[in-house]
Each structure stands twice: as C-alpha cells, then as structure tokens.
Amino acid sequence: MAQESAVYQLKLPSRTENLEIIREFVARIAQKAGFDDEDVAKIELAVDEACTNVVKHAYEGGSDKPIDVVVKLDYSKLTVIVTDQGKGFNPESVEVPDIKEYLAELRVGGLGIYLIRTLMDEVKYDIRPGVRNQVKMVKYFVGEGGETRRSEEVFIGTSQSAHVPKDEQRR
C-alpha cells in the first residue's frame, strides 16, 4: 500500500477568486497524507504563490485561461505541478539574492518566487512561453529515523480532472 501512488488534478480558470479553492484542494490532500499543520501551511502557501503568479503575470489578469494543478503522492513525497499556457518568465531574472535588501527597497511583488523556494524542498521551472510553463514543487515526508510518516490508508491511485476526488474508502 505504501508504494501506491495517487494523482489528483484540478483545472480552473485563472481568477484570483479560485485561489481559495486551489489552496483547499492542495491542503486537504497534504493533510490527509500525514503532513503536520506547519507543513500543510507551507505547501498551501507555496501553491498559492505559484498560482497567483500565473494569474497576475503569466496571463496578465486574463481570467478565462486555465490553471492546471496536479498533486502527486508517492511513498516519499508530495509533488505539486502548476501549469499554464501564458507568457512565462525567466525564473533566473527574478533571483532574490538578499531578502533584507529586497525588503528594504520595499519592492512589491516577486516575493512569491522567494517564498516558494523557501517553503518547498525542491522547485523546478520549465518555461516555454506561450506553449506551456510549469513549476514543479516537492515536499518530502520526513519522519523520525528517516522513515515516512505518511499514513498508508489514505491514498489509492486515481487521476481525475476538474474536481476534488472524494476519499475512496477502498480498504
């Protein structure tokens, strides 16, 4: 059972009002997978930041384009992949070398990229402007003695689109 993987997918129009739904979707999965409240909050915030960037920057506020959020679980980690078809950006160009300096200059925006990097264990961008931009964020389960603390009973592989899958009590 522990090796079983699960895939959850949510596809929504890129509107800020949908951020709440995206957060709840991801947080619920992370919670049930066994992450503690602090990690759930980190994952939730990282995904919010990635999706906010899509709404605000990739699509420049255009509200009818899709945001695609995929959450994958396996025995060692939770992976969230956020995909858009917007204009993309160069993650290198928004490098934040010194957050103190950055904040002192009171620059608004761009904090999201910094937060995502700080909150997640791994972050990878795959940017193909106008075709498909993807940010992949990983959070590992860390238990005592390096063991997974993920509860085993929760997830059974499903891949569904456009809604939050109901818990499947197939045990």
Partner 1 sequence: MSSFEVERKDDGSVTTLYLKGYLDAHTAPELESAFQKLVDEKRFNVIVSMAELTYISSAGMGVFMGFIETMRDNRGDIKLSNLPPKIYRVFDLLGFPLLYEVYEEEKQALKRFRELMGESGSEEAESPPEAR
Rounded CA-CA distance 68/160 in Å is 12
Closer residue to partner 1 in complex, CB, 56/77: 56
Q: Which residues contact 88 (CB under 8 A, 6 or more apart)?
A: 58, 127, 128, 129, 130, 133
One of 13, 77, 114, 127 touching partner 1 (CB under 8 A): 114
One of 11, 87, 107, 163 touching partner 1 (CB under 8 A): 107
- Among 58, 122, 130, smallest CA distance to 94 is for 58
Amino acid letter for position 111:
L
Site for partner 1 in 20-49 (CB under 8 A): 20, 23, 37-38, 41, 44-45, 48-49
Handedness of CA 21, 26, 32, 38 (dihedral sign): negative
**Closest separation in Å from C-beta 16 to partner 1:** 4
Segment lying near partner 1 (by CB under 8 A), choices 18-26, 78-86, 138-146, 147-155? 18-26
Is 16 a binding residue for partner 1 by CB under 8 A? The answer is: yes
Question: Binding mask 47-86 vs partner 1 (x if CB under 8 A, - otherwise)?
Answer: -xx--x--xx------------------------------
Q: Which residues contact 128 (CB under 8 A, 6 or more apart)?
A: 88
Rounded CA-CA distance 153/101 in Å is 46
Q: Which two tokens stand for residue 37?
A: 């409240």
Residues in contact with partner 1 by the rule CB under 8 A: 15-17, 19-20, 23, 37-38, 41, 44-45, 48-49, 52, 55-56, 99-100, 103-104, 106-109, 111-112, 114-115, 118-119
